[in-house]
Chains A and B, each alone.
Chain A
């Protein structure tokens, strides 16, 4: 079993004003990576669609590397944790 971790896939400024459309584009991107609509739906943690475009998804290391190479992707970072200060 290959471990899946939450990764943030950052796509920069959103290309559409309609948030539904933005989220749909995130599903599509994950669908093409993972091969099935169900897997894409299950993997998606968040769709960032108001202030900018991006999503958080549970991905293996190799999936994260693969999606980082997609031209629309600015960067992919593993989820990290912050503390109260």
Chain B
């Protein structure tokens, strides 16, 4: 967070921006459902924060190492929910467990995400000199209410969150008066149940949204494979993770004076020129050799002792780096260079052991140098923080991708935000923390960034529905980085990002504050969605608390008023409807600009939308047809309504299925 908000254009120095217009979200309450909170952290200071908003009905619950007096005008709520977890984990010993049976955070994750959403300003923070700056939340005067539902299971060394506990937390949060719910949790894919409503978070979120509470959830860390995005209900804001324009460049100087900039969080002393080795059989040995990062332990100590070791791995995950560092250190080596696919999960190695990541291309350069040199040597310098251009923005490898595996016509994720190497508060006993601050990566970290923006928007537009807020964020998002450069989606190979990587794009808070028009949704729309998704009328009636009759024939799911158009199975042509609500100047005229996906015709009627004091909502029809004759993959285009001040843009994603329900492999 020492970079996130300046990168997204929310600088406190600008007196007329969203941050200052909303008094930094002082009247908004962000409910965080997570691992708890470390209340002593400076990010929860309430300096200069006014009285608790009058709509707050919650409170703080005492427990192990946590008193209600730990709360203040910043941290206004702290509760814990453990009954579901206890009922399913009878071996859990609450007396002996490391975890605190209270809202206090053991893991640090809850404290971290709370900081990102609504932490107070804390200047001069860094991780051992890296990423130095002021830590702060997106809505730095918003109030935080923590609902602890995730518990450390000592036997299995995992942290787990029961849906029964999560639902109770959501139920309480609705009573307490939160404005936003930030949920950096998710299940695994394939998703549970045959329909999306049969999921704890989805169910709770439905009722929260109907009460005007925006629910923001992590899209998951199962990327870059397609159809891995989770928390996909159409009333949830689902978040993808990008990098910042920041990296931790680590100079590697080879004996031939070539300097390569790797990536690491190495904060130890410089490793002067040292022998460099790639473990491979010289051709005259019976010993075992392996240059694969996960298999370095098969090499004899003699191969690696006193040297820096180069290894290769196809894995983008940090576990490979940790494993390599462990093996080299154990053998008496002095450092390791890991050639890998970019995974955007750079971490420090234990005990500040020098471990530097490079890509396969640079790794191969180093290997060629080793093979061509009689006495290869290398020098590794301490990592330094690189900010701004030329560091580009990427959708992180791990960020889960669409299409939505439950309902392909509902575009997910909705939006992207920075979620890689984010410096924020944690507990003071977490590994790799520096004075209570730590770098973490995940869609967990991107989620509260969106929650912070929502808290600001909510402060500015108290009457906007969660769907209107979502629409404002999605239709105004950057399709490039804030400097106008293309966003790439990491994977193998790297490609230009598309809506299945980042939804509407990278959140642009300033633009989201004044979207001009919004694609709004209300109870009737959600009912239509559930009818089209096949729920029976009695279930829907019970769900919404009033008698419901689905229209006959049922409306198409394509007509659901989302800020996106996704057609997963176009055969000939289709016509769908969208409705726009004017939230800008009363008398406005918008004209349409269409960029059709390749091989598709997109016709919009009418081509001009006129709003005035009598006309706040206007519908339009979109007809899409194709000239493709085969079952295609997805093509992407866009549809923008513009009054020359506001550009209200949605993505159009279309796939043909001339042969329907066909598994396309030949």
Contacts and interface: CB of A to CB of B under 8 A. Distances in A.
A56 B207 contact: no
Interface string A45-85: 11011111010101000000000000110110101111111
A83 B161 contact: yes
B186 A75 contact: no
A49 B168 CA distance: 9
A11 interface: yes
A5 interface: yes
B545 A85 contact: no
Given A5-B88, A56-B168, A85 B204 contact: no
Given A46-B167, A52-B207, A79 B162 contact: yes
Nearest to B443: A85
A78 to B, nearest CB: 9
Contacts of A51: 170-171, 173-175, 204, 207-208, 211
B444 interface: yes
A41 interface: no
Given A50-B174, A51-B174, A81-B163, A74 B192 contact: no
Interface string B470-486: 00000000000000000
A26 to B, nearest CB: 12
Interface residues of A, number: 32
A8 interface: yes
A84 B545 contact: no
Contacts, number: 141
B650 interface: no
A24 interface: no
A49 B171 contact: yes
Contacts of B168: 46, 48, 56
Contacts of A84: 34-35, 107, 109, 150, 159, 161, 184-185, 442, 444
Nearest to B206: A52
B115 to A, nearest CB: 15
Contact of A6 (B84, B173, B542): B84
A59 B309 CA distance: 56
Contacts of A75: 197-198, 539
Interface residues on B, range: 35 or more
B175 A15 contact: no
B543 A79 contact: no
* Interface SS majority for chain A: strand
A10 interface: yes
A8 B159 contact: no
B188 A83 contact: yes
Interface in B410-462: 442-444, 447
Contact of B542 (A45, A50, A72): A72
Contacts of B161: 81-84
B445 to A, nearest CB: 9
A8 to B, nearest CB: 6
B283 interface: no
A8 B220 contact: no
Contact of A14 (B35, B162, B538, B545): B545
A82 B163 contact: yes
B442 A85 contact: yes
B228 to A, nearest CB: 12
Given A13-B207, A46-B83, A51-B204, A8 B542 contact: no
A83 B198 contact: no
A35 interface: no
B171 A85 contact: no
Q: Which 10 A-B pairs have the closest CB atoms?
A: A13-B545, A51-B174, A50-B175, A12-B542, A56-B164, A85-B218, A82-B185, A52-B207, A85-B444, A12-B543
8 contacts: A15-B545, A48-B167, A52-B171, A75-B198, A75-B539, A80-B200, A81-B163, A85-B185
Interface of A: 5-6, 8, 10-15, 19, 45-46, 48-52, 54, 56, 58, 71-72, 74-75, 77, 79-85
Given A56-B164, A82-B187, 10 more contacts: A6-B87, A8-B164, A13-B542, A56-B84, A77-B193, A80-B199, A82-B186, A82-B200, A83-B158, A84-B109
